Amino acid sequence: MVNLPTMTSPLPNDCSVPDWLATCLRTHSTPAEDQEPLTDRSNSQLVGKAFEFAYALHKGQRRASGEAYIGHPIEVANLLRDLGGDSAMIAAGFLHDVVEDTEVTPEEIEAHFGEEVRRLVEGVTKLSKFNFHSKTERQAENFRRMFLSMAQDVRVIVVKLADRLHNMRTLQHLKPEKQRRIAQETLEIFAPLANRLGIGRFKWELEDLCFKYLEPEAYREVQDCVSEKRTDRETRLQLVATTLRQRLEELGIAVNEVSGRPKHLYSIYRKMERQQKRFDEIYDIAAVRVIVPAKDDCYRALAIVHDAFKPIPGRFKDYIGLPKPNRYQSLHTVVLGSHGRPIEMQIRTLEMHHIAEYGIAAHWKYKESGGSKNTQLSANDEKFTWLRQLLDWQSDLNDAREFMEDVKGNLFDEAVYVFTPGGDVISLTRDATPVDFAYRIHTEVGNHCAGARVNGRMVTLDTPLQNGDIVEIITQKNSHPSLDWLNYVVTAGAKNRIRQWYKRSHRDDNINRGRDLLEKELGKNGFESLLKSEPAQAVAERCNYPNVDDLLAGLGYGEVTLNLVVNRLREAVKAQQPLETTHRDDLEHADAFLAEVISNPSKPSEHDSKSPILGVEGLLHHIAGCCTPLPGEAIIGAVSLGSRGIAIHRQGCPNLTTVPGDRLVPVNWNSGEGRNGHRLPTYPVQIKIEVIDRVGVLKDILFHLSDLQINVHKAQVKTFPGQIAEIDLGLDVRDHAHLDQTFSQIRKMTDILKIRRMSEID
């Protein structure tokens, strides 16, 4: 076992120690009973010892920025302390990377710091020392393990969020492609996780940082607009806050705080995109927060707000009577301010405000639930229904992509609240149907669902549910799921249960279909011997199936692609020659068959080695016109139902929301394409330019594009009397960086007002 290392030299010049940590280090050698605690639940000896341990192990390591690596654990621990984390959490913040980056084992962590710290560190440790077949599989397994650890101790994810937040704060030191990949993952997984846990201060910062790297042009545009209007906005909000405070105090309501604040950049951008409006058309970009002592005061304050300012109909939400799944409580209303512009009002108590900022961590920081010992998920804890369901479903999933889609689909917070006939509140994804509701109640209720009543009236099973609906499911023993349900259910749980039922009930048909597909591809000669061979069993296990029959069933159902199975069979046969078989009579046929499979790959493509996209070798594929992805952007393949093969989309393309997970294929750009003297291919992209209308403006733009050696395959100009002109161009560019360079050059022209990329995802 590794001995407990200690600091042998002072900290590097580029690394600073917070005051609280300095206090811990000064008292590190002082007996625990004589020292001043970090908080009422912390032990500064444990924290100081963890820091010295991490410092000694990370000594000499540098981050991508060139700074000493120990600065990262210090910042993570600092974030955890700000959240009110106990000594075990803060120690885990210092130690969260030592198992991955050094030779220290979890057992040695436990020997030095106890089982509690070991559990936290192990929960956030990446599986980088294990072998996986793809990046998607590695990522899915990391998250699967993290969620399982989270179910045992919810502090695991809080440590991970602090780690990710500091990584995002220092993301500028990485390469652009890595920045975008990490930012995309953060926006899809970690920001929604922070939101689910109610940690608002983490959620907003993560989203703004992701916005900065994923949409740099839009980020700068929104940031500049917010800065330009800052003085006017602050004056207006201050006037409203002063007027409101006076009215509240005159009517006897004690006020803790009345303050205005601008909304976060990503929130403003989402509103602009959702409403298809420019920044100057968005009015409620700021909110006034009113904090009062008690819940009754919230409703009294609401009446005063509506008396002092004119409320806008349909813009009131009561999250106190019906809290969000992440425990968020507040009254929201939108009123017309004294300047005639809409202003959002948020009314809450101090306790509600703490929960809005710190979420699950609020009871550690403010001691609402008995301190940090209350860290395990109770079976009756409604706040974590989504997590328990996710963990239930994950045991049924073989495919890493499917698990990742389920994770993402269950983290986003747009919800609709409906009631059972008994009055229980059920939270569902927006646009959920009675079938989603049925599966949320119980798997068997969903499997035998025959009809539904909503508010006492019979409805079709594809009817979207609305807030406040009372839903009753009608079941029959002989009813069973229909694949048509997959066209309108929206919750991941319902989709998984329908697919699982179909696969189980049609297993024999799926096996025969998979067998026919594979035999048609490879031929009959030696086919049966191949299915009984060790390579076939190895391929089944590699595809996460226990045996060959299950692999064939997955192939027949479409859970695994034919191309993947054939390629892996070829790899397995190459690795194990000659084939051993118990059937001597079939040996010659099997050897001949396998030799043919190895030497004659099915459906070869003469451009496979030079293909710009990895993962679709030998398959018909095309770039999706809806989002027109470019090299440098995260992509994913979608199997088309027609004869066009696989469509390559940008990740996040809205058209993918209706594509089942079993039709998605992981793909990547070929980074080696264009090397060794080969000319780089180009890709089409559509852009829209808003310009001051004048003679020759299009000619000047085309001149700039010619300097950049960019081909223009389409040009259309729209002019409007007395207004700006719009120019739609179709360009051929090499990659995303080439497009950014193009935008930068065009923006330098004095007549350019706005330029943007045109596609459904932009």
Enumerate the active-site residues.
Answer: 100-101
Of 196, 104, 629, which Cα lies nearest the Cα of 383? 196
Pairwise CA distance, residues 692 & 690, whole Å? 7
Give yes or no for a contact between 439 and 465, defined as CB atoms under 8 angstroms apart. no
Give yes or no for a contact between 630 and 761, defined as CB atoms under 8 angstroms apart. no
Per the listing, tokens 């004659």 go with 600
| Phi, psi dihedral angles at 627 (to 5 degrees) | -130, -10
Of 724, 712, 719, which Cα lies nearest the Cα of 753? 724
- Report long-range pairs for 302-308 (Cβ below 8 Å, ≥24 apart): 302/331, 302/333, 302/347, 304/244, 304/247, 304/248, 304/251, 304/253, 305/244, 305/333, 305/335, 305/345, 305/347, 306/333, 306/335, 307/247, 308/243, 308/244, 308/247
| Phi, psi dihedral angles at 336 (to 5 degrees) | -90, 120
What does the DSSP 8-state code read for residue 705?
H
Pairwise CA distance, residues 161 & 172, whole Å? 19
What does the DSSP 8-state code read for residue 68?
B
Per the listing, tokens 């602009």 go with 272
CA distances to 391, 392, 438, 550 from 442, rounded to whole Å, are 15, 12, 7, 26
CB neighbours (10 Å) of residue 490? 18
Give yes or no for a contact between 690 and 753, defined as CB atoms under 8 angstroms apart. yes
What does the DSSP 8-state code read for residue 622?
E
Give yes or no for a contact between 129 and 86, defined as CB atoms under 8 angstroms apart. no
Say how far residue 306 (Cα) sits from the centre of its chain.
38
Phi-psi region of 589 (alpha: psi -120 to 50; beta: other; left: phi over 0): alpha
Pairwise CA distance, residues 37 & 50, whole Å? 16
List CB contacts of 258: < 8 A, sequence separation 6 or more. Answer: 241, 244, 245, 248, 288, 289, 290, 291
3-state helix, strand, coil in the chain (%, to 5): 50, 15, 35
CB neighbours (10 Å) of residue 550? 20
CB neighbours (10 Å) of residue 577? 12
